[in-house]
Amino acid sequence: MRKLEQILEEYIEACLKEEDSLKRGDSKTGNKQYRIIKNITRDLRSNPNYGLEKLIPFLEHPSANVRLTTAFTLIPILPKQAKEVLQVLAAGRGTIAFNAKMTLSEWEKGNLKFD
C-alpha cells in the first residue's frame, strides 16, 4: 500500500497537470489526469486509515484547479466549506470559474452523483 504522503503528492501533481492541459487545450492529457484524480479519491474514500478528510488542507492550495477539484470531491461531506471555495472561484473568469459555477448549480439541483 502506498503511503499517504505519496498519494497526496500524486493528487496535487495530477490536479496541476490537469490544469496545465486545460490551458493548452490538451484533452487527452486532461482526461488522463482526471482518471488519476478519480482513482485517488476512490482509494482515499475506501481506506479506513485515510479518508477524504485528508484533502481538506487543499481547499486553500495556491492552485485554483487544486481548490476546485478538492471542493468538488469534498462537497458531499463538507458542503459549507466546499461551497465557500466554489463561490470564490466562480467569481473569477475562465474555465475554472465556469466549472465552479456549474458545480454549484448542479449541487443545488441535486444532480451531482458521487461513487
Q: Which residues contact 66 (CB under 8 A, 6 or more apart)?
A: 12, 15, 16, 19, 58
The mean of the pLDDT values for the chain is: 93
22 within a domain of the structure (yes/no)? yes
Q: What pLDDT shows up at residue 50? A: 85
Q: Which domain holds residue 41?
A: 4-109
114 within a domain of the structure (yes/no)? no
Question: Residue 8: which CATH number?
Answer: 1.25.40.70
Q: What pLDDT shows up at residue 1? A: 64
Q: What pLDDT shows up at residue 22? A: 87
Q: Note the pTM of the prediction, 2 decimals.
A: 0.92
Number of structural domains, the chain?
1
115 within a domain of the structure (yes/no)? no
**Residues of the chain whose pLDDT is less than 50?**
none
20 within a domain of the structure (yes/no)? yes
Q: What pLDDT shows up at residue 103? A: 96
Q: Which residues contact 63 (CB under 8 A, 6 or more apart)?
A: 12, 15, 16, 19
Q: How far is it, in rounded angstroms, from Cα 14 to Cα 107?
A: 24
**Unique residue bearing C-alpha cell 470531491:** 73
Q: What pLDDT shows up at residue 24? A: 92
37 within a domain of the structure (yes/no)? yes
